[in-house]
Amino acid sequence: MKSKNVPNTDIDTLFNAFRNEYRTSGNVTKEGNTITLLFDECTCPMVKNGVTDSFLCNCTVGYSRKLFETLFDRQVTIDLEKSILRGDPVCRQVIRISD
């Protein structure tokens, strides 16, 4: 990333704005530099059109990475801990924001 990192105080402000905007899409929480996204249904448009290959989860992880790196102007790491397409009852992503 070329620009300066967003200060930690601004990360909380940006996160709260994000959460307020997407509050109907799932459960979004933040503790320190860790964000958890939890969905009880798959939100992937391709799945809604009938594709059920769990490979699509890689696309979702990439989308989330780009979204949060752009939002916070910092690198993030993402762990897909659970996936509906892989047989779990929910999708759960854990996003860690670098210092």
The pTM assigned to this predicted structure is: 0.82
Task: List the domain boundaries for the chain.
Answer: 8-97
Q: Residue 62 corresponds to which amino acid? A: G
The tens place of each residue's pLDDT in the chain, 99 residues long, gives 445 666 666 888 888 888 887 765 568 889 999 999 999 999 889 998 999 999 999 999 999 999 999 989 999 999 999 999 999 999 999 999 998
pLDDT of the residue at 1: 42
- What the block records as the tokens of 67 is 């979204």
Query: CB–CB of 39/28 below 8 Å?
Result: no
The CATH homologous superfamily for domain 8-97 is Trafficking protein particle complex subunit 3 (3.30.1380.20)
Return d(Cα 38, Cα 92) in angstroms, integer: 5
Return d(Cα 59, Cα 16) in angstroms, integer: 25
pLDDT of the residue at 83: 96
pLDDT of the residue at 94: 97
Return d(Cα 68, Cα 63) in angstroms, integer: 9
Strands 91-97 and 27-31: unpaired
Return d(Cα 6, Cα 76) in angstroms, integer: 13
